[in-house]
Amino acid sequence: MFAGKVAIVTGAAHGIGKATAVALAKHGSRVVIVDIDADGGQQTAQEVQQLGISTLALPIDVADSVQVNVMVDQVMTQFGRVDMYSASKAGIIGLTKGLAADLAPHGIRVNCIAPGVIDTGLGTPGTGWTLAELERYAQRDVALGRVGEAEDIAEVIVFLLSDGARFMTGEVIVVDGGASLAHRRKKEV
């Protein structure tokens, strides 16, 4: 599906970013692994290479514009092009819609994903909840009755980057297992 294309995936050392990098590689895309965690990025790169796909792992802090510019230069030197970007935790709705409006005349599509409760393999830092508590929440309040997996999000990203989504731009795709329906479920039960 993406043979010959080049994707830059940020936050690719773990969780959704890692699952996205592997999913894109499985579909034939060469993948640039970007993460501040150099060791984790190398591990993801090894998984991608085991699929027979060219990869480049770069320990970059995407909050540093100088590092981002160096990254783009390295990608262009090694691969000569960039076809797809996937940014972890950077899907700000207003930015997505603004960029979509600005870039649509150039044939560039911009969409974002609003994930629900996802087990990224990183635990639950900052939530104050244990994984067991998140699972109980999901069984009670998520229509599909489970915590999502990083691969659930990665497959939606693959779709959004494919020609199947060629007429979509400026969209916020909610991937929450139906958690946003929970208030309806409680009323109906």
- Which amino acid would we find at residue 66? V
| Tokens linked to 74 | 């390295």
Q: What residues have CB less than 8 Å from 75, skipping those under 6 apart?
A: 6, 8, 32, 56, 82
- Which amino acid would we find at residue 6? V
Rounded Cα–Cα distance for residues 135 and 129 (Å):
10
Catalytic residues: 85
Cβ 80 vs Cβ 56: under 8 Å: no
| Tokens linked to 50 | 């085991």
**At CA 87, angle to CA 84 and CA 89, rounded to 5?**
160
- The full DSSP string for 114-159 is EE-SEE-SS--TTTS--HHHHHHHHHHHSTT-S-EEHHHHHHHHHH
